[in-house]
Chains A and B, each alone.
Chain A
Amino acid sequence: MNESTKLQLAPWVATIALFAFWEVGCRLFQIPEFILPTPTASIAAFFQYFYAIMFNAWFTLWVTMVGFAIAVVFGLFLGVLTGASALSYAALYPILVGFNAIPKVAIVPVLVIWFGIGAVPAVLTAFLISFFPIVVNVATGIATLEPELKDVLRSLGARPLDILFKVGLPRAMPYFFASLKVAVTLAFVGSVISETIAGNRGIGYLMLQASSSFRVPLVFAGLITVAVMGVGMYAIFALIEKRMTGWAFRGQGRA
């Protein structure tokens, strides 16, 4: 087996090993199902409640994606603003950091008061939790522009906007796409939190219902579904990253 096949197989082997460890542990120590169900029981629950899970997973997925899309637009905008101007960086950064430090769980009830139960609080929570890494990364990408390069361009009479569009933004793209991978998984955390606290649909809501009736295998089936969706979106954005910013991955098996 050569190196690249090994690398391709590694994540599958590790995941299967984790599930096997979990299964064996549960059986060996005879852990009751309502405390920690085995993976096989969880997967059985997944198929038993397949339609309910799919219905709610679909809801969670689109809610997350809408929140994430807003986060991308907003994060890119704020990132460019704080990265390109030292003044707006100084003005906005403390606010952003403070805002990011607020537990989003605490905001959900407020959002419910404002917008009622349903998709809107979940979309907003997904947005609020995921825009910060995008802002930070885009701002870093733009702010770390080599001063020499800036001098070269300024001495040509380049306008600040030229420098931003010709150099700053392209340069920030690897940072931007790297942050998308992180942000999209965070967005799932946000929407599921919101659904769990105040929802009437979605995986979070399903898990809450299941745990209140002690159907713990179903709870774990929900958790695994969220994890799979998160990994899937991560993979999609990793692929887009490679496509868009191949120049930043030189000599690492460029696709």
Chain B
Amino acid sequence: MTEITKLVHKYLRHDKKFPHVWCPGCGNGIVLGAMIRAIDRLGYKKDEIVMVSGIGCSGRLPVYVDFNTLHTTHGRALTFATGVKLAKPELKVIVVMGDGDATAIGGNHFIHAARRNINITAIIINNNIYGMTGGQYSPTTPYGMKATTAPYRNIEHAFNIAELAVTAGAVFVGRGTVYHARLLDKLIEKALVKRGFGVVEIITHCHTQYGRRNRMGDAVAMMNWQKEHAVRIERAGDLSEEELKDKFTIGVLADRDLPIYTEQYDLVRQQAQELTKR
């Protein structure tokens, strides 16, 4: 067993019924691996981590790992996470969502969590489709592509999740892909140590539902697509608009500091308690 496999095994729940629910070639395992590596490097204890998810293929991710895990309702993961974090701010709360989960049914919760700047890390796995329910179009299905509920073509325009997060006020926003695994490890690590609401959008593939219907090939072909279409944010400035067409940027898109909700609320408590002493 390679060192890296051994490391992942240290965090898996071996009393859980394996195998997992994901298709062969799915990127979710790469995301889980990257999260585990980042957590391990940071030396977090299993007991202090709460991993929260919503519904969908991404929602099944926490069940496999030996942390405090919470599999919530569709789109609502951030609301549960908000309660956990406020009740016990010392816990490290990581939320995993899919594109439909975070930006369709949970879109409102997503922008408000970013606006509040609660100290939570949100990992959004974007595969451009509702995979688990059978390949219906999501808010990130590109214009013109096909889905089971867009059998002719998708006429809606896609959200740019990372930019949405920046605009809504997230203090850290990164975008990576499952192809660029080392960058992904780093982005997740940075988001975890960042004080405030951190977001990492991860571009992945759903060859089963999205790729097959749009003739994009198998998992390997779709990962090659990620390789060819991703541009490091540091390099994006050197490229012309023409060269950036059909491309997306990866790397750290925003990193800033704003007051953190839990710390602000501590001050509110102090203020309230001083009032009662008078």
The judgment on whether A and B are partners is no
A residues contacting B by CB (< 8 A) are: none
B residues contacting A by CB (< 8 A) are: none
